[in-house]
Amino acid sequence: MNSPSKTFLITGGAGFIGSHLSKYLLQRGHTVYALDNLSTGSMENITDIRSNPDFHSRFHFVRDDIMNEMVLDRITSQVDIVVHLAAAVGVQLIVEKPVHTIETNIMGSEAVLKTALRYGCRVMLASTSEVYGKGVKIPFNENDDVLLGNTGKSRWAYAASKMIDEFLGLAYHQEYGLEVVPFRLFNTVGARQTGRYGMVIPRFVQQALRGEPIRVFGDGTQSRCFCDVRDVVEAIYGLSLSNEAAGTLFNVGSSEEISIMDLAKKVKHLSGSASEIVLIPYSEAYPPGFEDMQRRMPDTTRINTLLGWKPTHSLDQILQSVIDFERSRQ
């Protein structure tokens, strides 16, 4: 998709998805401001960007928090599109730090939307499949009702906070005419993703390559659909330029479903590992307040109809890219 050069602000720009998106945009001639406090992002993620002479004049990294109103205002005044990716990420972090999760997600999104309204920027608002909660109608459609667990389970604080983000973003569109595009991500994976906060694929791959037991939480029958980050950034980019996308929610993910036990077996096979696969009860894996969902599969008809987008990388290709990346770091 070719378009006139634009200037983007990516919050969480040194994170896993943010760094991939930054490079993708730069390769297409756009200018990128990456704002990140490095709480979960990393300078290592953007090393190749910063060392590329073709990007020097068009890539600007700012180490700060989205809650710094002066910094956020200064950057936003110079951009056309804000891609708001900064958030509390990972099941482990969410369960262990619920206050941080709620405040970061809701107050951060509010700050971004207020500032974007001031300058009339389009806002790409990242949300999550967690919002579907305990939904049992597969695949999940953007118009489905939502059923969350009780407030005593801190796991649901993340889903509820991202729902508020969506409500707020759509309200800014409805009430003020701000171009806001919320999109729900389903298990985005690929090279550079950290296993530090409970992300399953890098965790499995690291365990397999080290010859450690591959630890499957629960009984392993829970299933997920994993979408390559390279496909996800194409979807975000396409939505960011679409005149028809504003004010509409989009699922972004893959429909290639696999159980977590079969995922562990596939990682073991592709990495040539001799690791054993062991089951770990949730009570040992997470603090109190965790609750899991059995299946997650998106209906991506809406984005496919608008953009013709669909994932192009298979799960085997995704896993191989993560295995190759982790091997390169050993």
Q: CA-to-CA distance for 103 and 86, rounded, in angstroms?
A: 12
pLDDT value for 102 = 84
Phi/psi at 273 (nearest 5 deg)?
-85, 150
Q: Coil, helix or strand for 182?
A: strand
CA separation for the pair 224, 189 (Å, rounded): 12
Does domain 7-189+227-254+298-312 match CATH 3.40.50.720? Answer: yes
Q: For tokens 């982790």, what's the residue? A: 326
Mean pLDDT of 179-184: 98
Residue 158 binned pLDDT confidence (cut-offs 50, 70, 90): confident
248-300 tens-digit pLDDT? 999 999 999 999 999 999 999 999 999 999 999 888 877 666 677 888 999 99
159: how many CB neighbours lie within 10 A of its CB?
A: 22
Cα–Cα distance, 266 to 225 (Å, whole number): 14
Q: Is the pLDDT of residue 1 over 60?
A: no
Give the closest residue to 42 by CA, choosing from 196, 231, 219: 196
pLDDT given at position 274: 96
Q: Is the pLDDT of residue 213 over 80?
A: yes
Question: What local confidence, expressed as pLDDT, does residue 146 receive?
Answer: 92
Q: Does the pLDDT value for residue 151 go beyond 90?
A: no
Q: Which residue has the higher pLDDT, 49 or 290?
A: 49
- pLDDT band for position 197 (50/70/90)? low
Could you tell me whether strands 257-259 and 223-225 are parallel, antiparallel, or unpaired per DSSP bridges?
A: antiparallel
Tokens standing for 144?
Answer: 């489905």
Q: How far apart are CA 43 and CA 50, in angstroms?
A: 9
Lowest mean pLDDT among 142-156, 241-255, 294-308: 142-156
pLDDT in tens, 125-135: 999 999 999 88
Instruction: Report pLDDT for 91.
Output: 63
158 is catalytic: yes
**What phi, psi does 153 have (nearest 5°)?**
-100, 110
Q: Which two tokens stand for residue 111?
A: 């700050």
Catalytic residue among 24, 158, 172, 237: 158
Amino acid at position 216, single letter: V
R_g of the chain computed on alpha carbons: 19
Percentage of residues in the chain having pLDDT higher than 90? 79
Judge whether residue 178 has pLDDT over 60: yes
